[in-house]
Amino acid sequence: MKKVLVALALLGAIVFLLTRGPIDVDDDRTRLRIGSTAEVSSLDPRVATDGASFERIYTMIEPLITYDTSLELQPRLATAWERAEDGMSLTFELREGVQFHHGRPFTSEDVRYTFEWILDPENRAQNRPLYTNIETIETPDDHTVIFRLNAPNAFLVNNLARMPIVPADRGEDDDFGRNPVGTGPFEFVSLRRDDRMVVRAFEDYWGGRSNIDELVFRAIPEDGARLLAFEAGELDLFQRDVVYREIARLDEDDRYVFEQTMGTGYLYVAFNVDVEPLGDPRVRRALAHLVDREGFVDRVLEGVGTPGISMITPGTRWHNAEVERFPYDPARARELLAEAGVEDGIRLRLHTNENPARVQLAEVLQASIAQAGVNLDIRIEEFGAYLDRIQATDDYDIIIGGWLGQLDPDRAMYRQFHRDGSANYMNYRNDRVSELLDRGRSLDPESDEALRTYFEAQEIIVREAPMAFVNYNLEVGVRHPQVEGWRVHPYSAATYQDLHRARIAR
Amino acid sequence: MLAFTLRRLASVVPVLFGVSILVFLMVHLTPGDPVRLLLGEDAEPADVERLRAAYGFDRPLPVQYLLWLQRALTGDFGISIRHQEPVLTLIAGHIGATVELAVASLVVAVLLGIPLGVLAAVRRNGPVDLACLVIALVGVSMPNFWLGMVLLAYLAVEIDLLPIAGRGPPLLDALGELLRTGRPGALLDAVRFLLLPAVALGTAVMAVVMRLTRSNLVEALGEDYIRTARAKGVSEWNVVYRHALRNSLLAVVTVVGLSFGALLGGAVVTETVFSWPGLGRLLVDAIRQRNFPVVQAGVLLVAFLFVLVNLLVDLSYAWLDPRIRYD
Amino acid sequence: MTESAGLDDLVADRRPTGPGTGEEGTPEPGSRPGRLSLRRALRSPQLVGGTVILAGVIAVAILAPWLSPADPLEQNLQNRLLDPQGLGGLGGEAGRAYILGADELGRDLLSRILHGTRLSLLVGVVATGLALLVGGVCGAVAGYVGGWIDSVVMRVMDVLLAMPGVLLAIAIVAALGPSLTNAVIAIAVVRVPVMARVIRGDVLAARELQYVEAARALGIPGPRILFRHILPNAWVPTMVVATLGMGTAIVTEAALSFLGLGAQPPDISWGRMLSVGLGVLRTDPHVTLYPGLAIFIVVLAFNLIGDGLRDVLDVKSVEQRG
């Protein structure tokens, strides 16, 4: 028996060495516990690309401009900005009296450092393509930055608005991605990956100290588990991926507040026009008529979404509500297919990845398209294999995918529908559309001409149906009623950027 | 004994070498590109190429392997592509949770399995024995991730004290906190979070421990020396506890040891169900993201621990049972 | 393979056969496997019970289309996640009793569970059969020929055994692409070393038997000895391990499908059904409960049979080697 005890003691020692880590102490600090849909990849905004990382980064590191909940640009570290007449430069006036968490004042050098780091091909900045229009960055004084461009890009300001500013004297630290420093209302405390991350109020925040002392982020990737944890009182709030089926119940229950708002993305079915018979617009239009958008939104998404008509989300001024509609109409679809001479019983492949909404859409489509005599073979792939297929090969007929963060018409159309677009998976080539998208970049976004240009492009694309737009995403979130001053944000990555203004009612 | 230990240790090396080659081939022949996964659905082709070159993925596979091996031998397992931080830091952040859960599951298994096994053996062929047999068969036949889901649906949802997801404070820190400050709050919190996942993972092991305890004890109780002890008037409790049970625990040690090794990397789905921040989840995510450096180092580490634990089981077997001699 | 609640992994030998493992391959004196006779079999309640359950499961698999109240693929989005209606559902809509409720696309859960039996059994049998074939050949050759071939083959098996089964299976499926076929291949690969171990051990034991030595002395060629004299004697422990392995294979398929790496729609897999359940645990536990119960019943049947066989055939060695 003694030997067993010795063995147990040894095992205990090994376990002890392996399992140490910080612990959270209970006290009377005000604290919000937030559910995350995924763990952060990195807390360095220059290398992270995922929403889950940015949700947390924005509480600690601020960008020059931010989007508010109506998707309007608001000053943050910049107080004013201006686009030159010729569209070849952008000037930002920076806020004065801003401190980084490590005690140094924020200056224009930090802005230049951040964007030059991103533009340096030696660095592994993953968002680099968003900024390659920048030729040089000038800092005439501590609080002015001028971006000189190599070609007009009216929408560059939207991209600049997304990038948090990294302090020049800390940006080269090896551990910046897990021990970040910024100017934000909260400063970093600890990160236990796949478990929890803690940030606390920054005493010297330029906008005044946060009402909330501490934020605790918990990564609970399973949607059901996250909601259960919320209802059990283990979480105070979260945005994104509230289990659809539960929404009606949550909405009725006084103990919870459910909120939704139009998002910035959509779900689509795309047709490879180089594959016969999908090259024939009549066939694509027929298939577009076989997507039961209302049924999918109502019954599969439980109403979390609005039926899609184009690639621009409603609610922004770029959305053209007059484009052609494709109501669910199997009879019309059969007519169109007959007109195009498509024989009964042809087989087409449908590829998508293992995202549940996409898989369910695939199953619904399989059933509805079969009614028109077209058989779909569903191939669900892992995300990696799926990306390989759509980006590196042309080996697919129909795909189901989605776009997010379509905050301006250039971002929503150029890469996807321009004949040379890098994400034109449909191989869609329309000269007029390409011309319009090129022109849009050089126009003043506020002008009527810009609006007309993008309206026309939308109209042509929708009519030719290289893509069937299924639904626009709604952003959804839940909170307990005592949490006040936080709203669901249409651009979910920015949802916690103003959490220092929230308060907990007693 | 020493020679045996050294020989066994030496035999671990080629196995680990084989594991590293196998894992390397598997992850690199897998369709899906880590850089594409990083950049997502709107990647620019030029950037995909640039980053591929930066990570060296454009080189021939054998060259990539040798470079990896060369660095790994100096303890440098590279940088996680997704997280941009050292692989070892990442793994170190997850192994604690996995070890903690594995130990907790085995504690559940042993604390329930041995007493039930003893009970079944002492009352063998009676209704208690039958009940234990049924428990064991049921326990071993339930998929443990499903058991976890059922526990969540019918217990955690109803009982406020049992959390739904995640991990509390690290168990041993919570213990330290108790010893330092005398406050049990953190420890209770840690146990609350551990309980259901530990039961879900521990039930199958419990069943095996119970069966082994029973069958070995039944056998031991029939041995000559036990009969002698009985004849000498030693009380039945003493017979069972001091003589028979001790000798039948050997097999239990083996099962517990092997289960520990298996739990280190094999509890993937259960970790997913309970949002447990363990190694299994890190590795499955890494496989899905084609995060080669993490997969390679992680699987190698799990294999190493697995082989090591098995070796320790063999050695402790020899150590605990004086009848076994290795040379 | 922890994810799979299989008795066999803990009982069958998973330890590396390093060159120094002294006890490996030593034939167990006096453990001549018993013979399976009906009379002995009937004395084992486990074996009888397991066989009865398995027979029922097989009957369900064959008769699924006739037993099912509805088409398992027919969607009815109005009835998404409908709660179980019990037998009262029989009076409802024609053909859709929803006795066990509906799934996330309004398909009849009972019909889907009944049809899912086919896939589960198929995976169990095919994956185990493949593992038995490949592992059997490797193990038999290694054990019989010995020498460096034995070393090489068994080192390869050690490498496979050194990785947790589910993790290895996930990596294989990721490499081959998620599909039912690839899941079966992955499960088989994971099971190969277990089978190879068992068969090698039995071949080593049988090789020492007197009549085998006699056959060798008579100059009968090696392969003939192996197939005619040794393997027929080695099959008993193998059968026990293979039966128990069926359960493991079925659970592994469920785990892979749960993670989206196994069966693809419209194939009906219990594991895929469970993955939907996690999202709606609070309001619709029936989506989780019943498919899991189905897995449990099938695995239980195989475990009972394996367990019973071990008792009846007195294959102590299998347990002792753990």
Cβ C197 vs Cβ C204: under 8 Å = no
Q: How far apart are CA A384 and CA B38, in angstroms?
A: 9
Interface contact flag, A382 C104, Cβ < 8 Å: no
Question: How high does pLDDT run on average in chain A?
Answer: 88
Chain B: give the shortest CA distance to residue C254, in Å: 9
Please determine, for residue A97, whether its predicted confidence score (pLDDT) is greater than 50. yes
Could you tell me the strand order of the sheet in which A89-94 lies? A78-83, A89-94, A144-149, A134-141
Tokens 């990294």 sit on residue = A166
Q: Tell me what pLDDT residue C4 has.
A: 38
B257: left (phi over 0), alpha (psi -120 to 50) or beta: alpha
CA angle B301, A12, B87 (to 5 degrees): 25
CA gyration radius for chain B?
Answer: 24
Quick one: which of C208, C168, C205 has its CA closest to C31? C205
> Does B158 reach chain A within 8 Å, measured CB to CB?
no
Q: How far apart are CA B69 and CA B60, in angstroms?
A: 14
> Does A3 reach chain B within 8 Å, measured CB to CB?
yes
CATH number of the domain to which B138 belongs: 1.10.3720.10
Residue C52: Cβ within 10 Å count? 12
Is B131 a member of any domain? Answer: yes
Amino acid letter, residue A265? G
The three-state secondary structure class of A186 is strand
pLDDT-derived band at A11 (thresholds 50, 70, 90) equals: low
> Does A248 reach chain C within 8 Å, measured CB to CB?
no
E strand or H helix at B141: helix B127-141
Is B277 a member of any domain? Answer: yes
Is B96 a member of any domain? Answer: yes
> Does B94 reach chain A within 8 Å, measured CB to CB?
yes
Q: How far apart are CA C201 and CA A286, in angstroms?
A: 64
For chain B, give me the number of helices (H) and strands (E)? 15, 0
> Does B287 reach chain C within 8 Å, measured CB to CB?
yes
Q: Which chains touch B (3 or more CB pairs under 8 A)?
A: A, C
A31-56 tens-digit pLDDT? 999 999 888 888 999 988 788 889 99
pLDDT-derived band at A353 (thresholds 50, 70, 90) equals: confident
Q: Tell me what pLDDT residue B261 has.
A: 81
Out of A11, A19, A47, the one facing B172 most closely (by C-beta) is A19
CA angle A105, A109, A110 (to 5 degrees): 65
Q: Indicate the pairing of strand A73-75 with strand A65-67.
A: antiparallel
> Does B163 reach chain C within 8 Å, measured CB to CB?
no
Interface contact flag, A382 C174, Cβ < 8 Å: yes
B248 or A153, higher pLDDT: A153
C86 or C4, higher pLDDT: C86
pLDDT-derived band at C15 (thresholds 50, 70, 90) equals: very low
> Does B158 reach chain C within 8 Å, measured CB to CB?
no
Least confident of A172-181, B10-19, C56-65: B10-19
Interface contact flag, C167 B144, Cβ < 8 Å: no
pLDDT-derived band at C26 (thresholds 50, 70, 90) equals: very low
Least confident of A272-286, A450-464, B156-170, C3-17: C3-17
Please determine, for residue C56, whether its predicted confidence score (pLDDT) is greater than 60. yes
Least confident of A215-224, A339-348, B242-251, B277-286: B242-251
Interface of B with A in 180-239 (CB under 8 A): 185-186
pLDDT-derived band at A274 (thresholds 50, 70, 90) equals: very high
Average pLDDT over residues A434-447: 89
Q: Tell me what pLDDT residue B1 has.
A: 67
Chain B: give the shortest CA distance to residue C158, in Å: 6
Beta bridge partners of residue A99, listed in sequence order: A105
Interface contact flag, C77 A382, Cβ < 8 Å: no
Give B236: exposed, middle or buried? Use CB within 10 Å, 0-12, 13-18, 19+: exposed
Chain A: give the shortest CA distance to residue C298, in Å: 27
Is B128 a member of any domain? Answer: yes
Say what percent of chain B tops pLDDT 90. Answer: 16
| Structural domain boundaries, residue B110 | 87-146+198-320
Is B41 a member of any domain? Answer: no
Q: Tell me what pLDDT residue B325 has.
A: 52
Please determine, for residue A22, whether its predicted confidence score (pLDDT) is greater than 70. no
By C-alpha distance, the chain C residue nearest A354 is: C260
Interface contact flag, C177 A381, Cβ < 8 Å: yes
Cβ C285 vs Cβ C277: under 8 Å = yes
Interface contact flag, B143 C3, Cβ < 8 Å: yes
Interface contact flag, B306 C163, Cβ < 8 Å: yes
Quick one: which of C271, C272, C136 has its CA closest to C191? C136
Residue B253: Cβ within 10 Å count? 17
pLDDT-derived band at B320 (thresholds 50, 70, 90) equals: low
**Number of compact structural domains in chain B:** 1
Chain B: give the shortest CA distance to residue C215, in Å: 33
Quick one: which of A419, A128, C292 has its CA closest to B39? A128
Is B290 a member of any domain? Answer: yes
Q: Tell me what pLDDT residue C7 has.
A: 37
CA angle A237, A241, A246 (to 5 degrees): 85
Question: How high does pLDDT run on average in chain B?
Answer: 83
The greatest distance separating any two alpha carbons of chain C, rounded to the nearest whole angstrom, comes to: 76
B174-230 tens-digit pLDDT? 888 888 887 888 888 888 899 999 999 999 999 989 988 888 888 877 777 777 777
> Does A402 reach chain B within 8 Å, measured CB to CB?
yes
Is B265 a member of any domain? Answer: yes
Chain C: give the shortest CA distance to residue A483, in Å: 24
Least confident of A58-72, A458-472, C162-176: C162-176
> Does C265 reach chain A within 8 Å, measured CB to CB?
yes
Interface contact flag, A226 B165, Cβ < 8 Å: yes
Q: Which residues of A touch B166 (CB under 8 A)?
A: 195-196, 218, 220, 229, 234
Q: Tell me what pLDDT residue A471 has.
A: 93
Is B26 a member of any domain? Answer: no
B1-49 tens-digit pLDDT? 677 778 878 878 888 888 888 888 887 777 777 777 777 666 677 777 7
Q: How far apart are CA C302 and CA C55, in angstroms?
A: 11
Q: How far apart are CA A394 and CA A428, in angstroms?
A: 12
User: From the candidates C2, C13, C113, which should be mutated to test the interface with B, based on the most B CB atoms within 10 A?
Assistant: C2
B55-106 tens-digit pLDDT? 777 888 888 888 888 888 888 888 887 787 889 888 988 988 999 999 999 9
Structure tokens at B241: 């506890």
Q: Tell me what pLDDT residue C88 has.
A: 66
User: From the candidates A328, A353, A358, A360, which should be mutated to test the interface with C, based on the most C CB atoms within 10 A?
Assistant: A360
Quick one: which of C322, C57, C8, C52 has its CA closest to C165? C8
